[in-house]
Amino acid sequence: MKVKPSFSIVRVDETDSTNRMARALANGGASDGTVVVAKRQTAGRGRRGRSWSSRGDFGLWFSVLLRPQFEPNLGGFLAIGAAVAVARAIDKLTGVRVDLKWPNDVLIGGRKICGVLAEASTVCGRLEWAVVGVGINLFPPEGGFPPELTPVATSLSEHLGAGAVIDRERLLEAVLDELADCRALLERGACGAQALRDEAEALMRATIGRRITVKAATGQYEAVAARLDEEGGLVVVDDSGEPIRVTSADVSIGYGSVGTAEPAEEVPVR
């Protein structure tokens, strides 16, 4: 029988960033499974230093502190595993089909509903702690999404039937349960990571097998997204047929880079 993991939830009305709070708790010795949930974030962060639009009570904004027992080379799967957990939870609770876009976006109909930010600390080559931040748009913000985000952002309520009720607490519990399962897969080592990778690839209909634009620190180029590698990196094939491993970049597809803002660069865990 699967034992349900224990989570300790810290709730605040407002904070600058749930990830920052969780990191501070981690450095102060907080236990594995500590969860910070906020109604509003005044300085929510995304990948590559971008802001995350979460200044209102229109979403589910939370960060989970983990003290994982797996090798640092699997740290690239933290954000991917959290995105898989969100996809599973939404499907189970609502039946709404979601897609993933590498490395950390959850999409509905090609528009972003959720982003994930994973950060970690290593000591002597071992993971000391990891913080996984999740932001899910449950409703449009008051007045709607800003014009520049309207084509690329969406909320869960927009894809449910009239009169449908979104239970925040039930969704939070479902995501945490699925995240615990994804974490358990990684703690099984290469075999478990392979299972998680296969599931993530199947959900990455918006990425795998499609022509994409990769915007990396070294420049921008087009390629075909081929697969995930054993550590969560994206393997692409350029026009010369050369495979390239991508670990830190923006990826855009036909409709452009997706997000209400994509959460700051992950702290390296390799």
Domain boundaries, given as residue ranges, for the chain: 8-203, 211-252
CATH of 211-252, one of 2.30.30.100, 2.40.50.1070, 3.90.330.10, 3.40.630.90: 2.30.30.100
Q: Quick one: pLDDT at residue 48?
A: 42
Q: Indicate the burial class of 6 (C-beta count within 10 angstroms; 0-12, 13-18, 19 or more).
A: exposed
Q: Quick one: pLDDT at residue 256?
A: 38
Superfamily of domain 8-203: Bira Bifunctional Protein; Domain 2 (3.30.930.10)
Residues ≥6 apart with Cβ < 8 Å to 39: 12, 13, 14, 57, 61
Q: Quick one: pLDDT at residue 4?
A: 52
Q: Indicate the burial class of 94 (C-beta count within 10 angstroms; 0-12, 13-18, 19 or more).
A: middle
Residue from 80, 86, 84 nearest 60 by CA: 86
Q: Quick one: pLDDT at residue 259?
A: 32
In contact, 223 and 239? CB cutoff 8 Å: yes
Q: Quick one: pLDDT at residue 208?
A: 94
Q: Quick one: pLDDT at residue 252?
A: 87
Query: How many alpha carbons lie under 13 Å from residue 246 in its C-beta half-sphere?
Result: 31
pTM value is: 0.87
Low-confidence ranges of the chain (pLDDT < 50): 1-3, 46-52, 255-270
